Amino acid sequence: MGHMIARLQTALDDLSIAGGTIVVGVSGGVDSVALLCGLAQLAASQHLKPVAAHLDHGLRGSRSAEDAAWVARLAERLQIPVVTDHVDVASRAAAAGKGIEETARTVRYEFLQAVATDHIARWIAVAHSADDQSETILHHIVRGTGLSGLRGMPAERTLPCGVVLVRPLLGMTRAELETYLAEIGQDYRVDDSNDDPQFTRNRLRHSVLPVLRRECNPQVDEALRRLGAQASELQSAMQTLAERCLDAAVRDLQPQVARLDWIVLADQPRHLVREVFLQLWTRQRWPRQRMGFEHWDRLADLVLDADSIAVTLPGRCDARRRGGLVVIEHPEGVAREAGQAD
């Protein structure tokens, strides 16, 4: 078994991907062709049924249609069912008043979910590589998405439709995937939209990362991924501790009222206290959209700052100290239906 296939096997095992239908997003570029060929090789042993899905974004003139036909021929040769579709992304973006990059992403995921639903698939696999991951982390750093953005793309995520989006190639570099395709004698399409500098991601790929590698650290991609993994682990640990702290502090939870033990919280670091309230909102299904950093921080004040007695928060939410309790009343809280999953 080749090097890449062995690593893909490990990734599938780590993600518990076996026994079911998996939709594979295939642009025709090196990453997605490697993913499709790798999954074709492992399909029998993993009891997997891959379905190739290609969306023609209509952004590359006649080349777009050629790509679609090329992917269809590849899938046929691999004896994998293929679904192709065409969306005029530029018109959609103009109509919605949104950017090309954002719109392309939205329609691509809509398409993949539709294919997954049609084929009763358990997974959608996309071909993001380790290089995509370091670019994403750098992109998040530069855009200012804060600590949570350092985590980069998750290896798995359950989509609203219930299908699990997986990224089995996050541990492999583009160079490794190119080597694999060369070994099996498989060519691929060159997606020149990857070179279009109107996309921020491409500017990082072509203008910034090469400078960082050459001028500062040849291993900068790896450094970014390691930083992402560290940040991810630290944040997960803090979330676990916040859940436990919330468990210890809860005295009473009603749909529109929560009563917490003030003493349990008063001794904790501010960061943990904010995280506890965030978890409370999630547990209570109170809307979080309008809650910003300063709101979580004012809740922390209520616990940590003796002078803070009461705060009013978005959604006419009222939080105040009453004796040894912190009492939060949220008029937007709704009772769960009987039998509704937690």
Is residue 141 close enough to count as binding a copy of itself by CB under 8 A? yes
| Residue 31 marked as a ligand binder | yes
| Piece in contact with a copy of itself (CB under 8 A), picked from 32-40, 120-128, 169-177, 237-245 | 237-245
| Residue 38 marked as a ligand binder | no
| Cα angle for residues 113, 146, 280 (degrees, 5° grid) | 75
Structure tokens at 61: 């003139």
CA distance 157 to 122: 12
| Piece in contact with a copy of itself (CB under 8 A), picked from 64-72, 76-84, 95-103, 210-218 | 210-218
Is residue 102 close enough to count as binding a copy of itself by CB under 8 A? no
Question: Min. distance of Cβ 298 from a copy of itself in angstroms?
Answer: 16
| Cα angle for residues 316, 319, 325 (degrees, 5° grid) | 155
CB 50 within 8 A of CB 22: yes
CA distance 88 to 60: 11
| Piece in contact with a copy of itself (CB under 8 A), picked from 52-60, 113-121, 124-132, 139-147 | 139-147
| Residue 32 marked as a ligand binder | yes
Question: Min. distance of Cβ 8 from a copy of itself in angstroms?
Answer: 26
For residue 206, the one-letter residue type is H
| Piece in contact with a copy of itself (CB under 8 A), picked from 26-34, 65-73, 118-126, 142-150 | 142-150
Helix 174-183 to helix 3-14 angle (10° resolution) is 120
Is residue 226 close enough to count as binding a copy of itself by CB under 8 A? yes
Integer angstrom CA distances of residue 207 from 190, 197, 200, 210, 214? 19, 9, 10, 6, 12
Binding a copy of itself by CB under 8 A: which of 6, 211, 263, 310? 211
| Residue 163 marked as a ligand binder | no
Contact set for a copy of itself, span 255-284 (CB under 8 A): 269-272
User: Dihedrals φ, ψ of 79, to 5°?
Assistant: 60, 45
| Residue 30 marked as a ligand binder | yes
Question: Min. distance of Cβ 138 from a copy of itself in angstroms?
Answer: 8
CB atoms within 10 A of CB 325: 17
Give the residues lining the site for a copy of itself (CB under 8 A). 139, 141-144, 146-147, 150, 200, 203-204, 207-208, 211-212, 215-217, 219-220, 222-224, 226-227, 230-231, 233-238, 240-241, 269-272
